[in-house]
Amino acid sequence: MSKQWTRRAAIKALGIGAGSALFPFSSHAVDENGNVIVLPSPEELSALDNPITAITLGAGNRGNVYGGYALNYPGQLDIVGVAEPIPVRNERYAQKHAIKDENRFKTWEDVFKRPKFADAVIISTPDRLHYGPCMKALEMGYDILLEKPISPSEKECRDILALAKKSGRIVAVCHVLRYAPYFVKMKELMHDGAIGDIISVQHLEPIQYTHMSHSYVRGNWHNSKETTPIILAKSCHDLDILRWMINKPCRNIQAFGDLKWFTKANAPAGSTERCMDGCKIEPTCPYSALRIYHRNRERTYVFDLPIEKEKQGDYILQQLRTTNYGRCVYRMDNDQPDHYVTTIKFDDNITASFSMEAFTPAEGRKTRVMGSMGYIEGDMTAFKALDFRTGKEQEFKQETDAHGGGDYRLVANWIQAVSKHDPSLLTSTIDQSIESHIMGFMAERSRLEGKIMDIKM
Ligand SMILES: NC(=O)c1ccc[n+]([C@@H]2O[C@H](COP(=O)([O-])OP(=O)(O)OC[C@H]3O[C@@H](n4cnc5c(N)ncnc54)[C@H](O)[C@@H]3O)[C@@H](O)[C@H]2O)c1
């Protein structure tokens, strides 16, 4: 597949009609220079002579998403090593991927004590453990699939960018929304003149109230200083998708927001340290750990449940007695804002507003694009594009998961780039990904210092 097709050739080959009501299974995107990049769907990526071999660093939630790709498409990706300190995760991952004992490690450092033994590494360790393995992998000549955020530190992000450039290795940042056909199509309309000149964009990221309590009050990202500020941990996808869709450099950003609800001051009378300690309001508390994890069995993947179903209930109760997941949401040592608004100015005076909101019934993203000749409005399952000139409205629908089907398309795009040793095939290049990270760092400084920040690359 040639890397830079003409737009006409790509559209013809992929069967994308201007008036099509459904997103095509395959989709195309445009790189920073306006060249069409074919985004293969996993099924369409032609069989490779040999699958790309990779070592997964961090076999948690995301490591298993990418591992799942290898299990579904063994002709494209073969996981040949794993580094994971939690024994049950290491064991289960090794079994799933038939990883040899000598290629199983407790921690990422051990992988790099061995001479290079795979084409690539997948970095799905916690946020603060991205920089170390990424720098080491670049030094040793591995290609990389790097979970976002690149790093919680601006300096480390810039170091990774510099070394990636110097080494010429492929580093794809997991900005999965760029691969969702919904956003690819929306971007295409924004730049094909379908709604005239882009004037402004409004974008909302509803987190969903139990997702907030799970991840940002009790869970991995509850403390911004130990992990990453929520604007990067949760919303770097959204800053990135705005930058990517508007396709102009960001010049200024301003942010407001704080932690308003999940604080000790709001702990109801009769509540206790843990939901199981006889809390008086537990039966009616929407954030009750017993309700979420034990009664509703939601988000229990963090517990590595026993395979035997009959053992799972007691196991969850034990976890709620001993881990943060059983603690009262009003008594955690959390500091992540639960509402966060930003206003952003891009080149050509295009403006955008972005809100991240915890207290919503559902996840997903809602976007409105205001153009001089039209308007787009969507909720990630569908969007409508109205042309003011003709009064005609087109609707585009998509069956979607939380990432709009972007996860596997991202891996397919990365495999294509790795197999051809060609970083320019990536949609999610590290250069542009860094830019949206800088927007996040500056938003956080703006929120804390009360200033409008300039974005300087
Ligand atoms: N792209 C996305 O949409 C998306 C979504 C969620 C999370 N993430 C990011 O992906 C990364 C992983 O998140 P997750 O939800 O899978 O978390 P997780 O906690 O489920 O997985 C991280 C794993 O890394 C392991 N680990 C810890 N120290 C290690 C070490 N020294 N060496 C090797 N492994 C180690 C942990 O034991 C854990 O199993 C994070 O950076 C997170 O911000 C990205």
Query: What tens digit of pLDDT does each residue of 117-130 get?
Result: 999 999 999 999 99
Question: Which one of 84, 226, 301, 436 would you pick to mutate in the ligand 1 pocket, going by the greatest count of ligand atoms within 8 A of its CB?
Answer: 84
Q: What is the pLDDT of residues 400-457, one digit of tens each?
A: 666 777 889 899 999 999 999 988 888 877 887 899 999 999 999 999 999 999 999 8
pLDDT tens for 16-66 read 333 333 333 333 444 444 444 445 567 666 667 889 999 999 999 999 999
pLDDT recorded at residue 45: 67
Q: How confident is the prediction for the chain on average, in pLDDT?
A: 90
Q: For the whole model, what pTM was predicted?
A: 0.90
Q: How far is the CA of 129 from the centre of ligand 1 (A)?
A: 9
* Nearest atom, ligand 1, residue 176 CA: 1
* Residue with CA at minimum distance from ligand 1 atom 21: 60
Q: What is the pLDDT of residue 438?
A: 96
Residue 34 vs residue 397, higher pLDDT: 397
> What is the chain's alpha carbon radius of gyration, rounded to the nearest angstrom?
22
Which residue's CA is minimally distant from atom 32 of ligand 1? 107
CA–centroid distance, residue 27 to ligand 1 (Å): 29
Of the chain, the percentage scoring pLDDT greater than 70 comes to: 89
Q: What is the pLDDT of residue 402?
A: 66
**CB-based contacts of 399, cutoff 8 Å, min separation 6:** 381
**Distance between CA atoms of residues 407 and 409, nearest Å:** 6
Ligand 1 center to residue 419 CA distance, Å? 25
Instruction: Determine contact, residues 185/28, Cβ cutoff 8 Å.
Output: no
Residues in contact with ligand 1 (CB, 6 Å cut-off): 57-63, 83-86, 89, 107-108, 124-127, 129, 147-148, 174, 176, 220, 233
Ligand 1 nearest-atom number relative to CA 64: 16
Span from the CA of 196 to the centroid of ligand 1 (angstroms)? 41
What are φ and ψ of residue 426, in 5° steps? -80, 140
How far does residue 152's CA lie from ligand 1's centre (Å)? Answer: 14
SS3 87: helix
- Cβ-proximal residues to 202 (8 Å cutoff; 6+ apart), any chain: 352, 353, 367, 368, 370
3-state class of 154 per DSSP?
Answer: helix
pLDDT above 90 for 6: no
**Residue with more model confidence, 333 or 400:** 333
Mutate to test the pocket of ligand 1, among 88, 91, 121, 124 (most ligand atoms within 8 A of CB): 124
**CB 66, CB 413: distance < 8 Å:** no
| Separation CA 330–CA 286 (nearest Å) | 12
b/e string for 331-343 if b means 16 or more Cβ within 10 A?
Answer: ebebbbbbbbbbb
pLDDT in tens, 288-302: 999 999 999 999 999
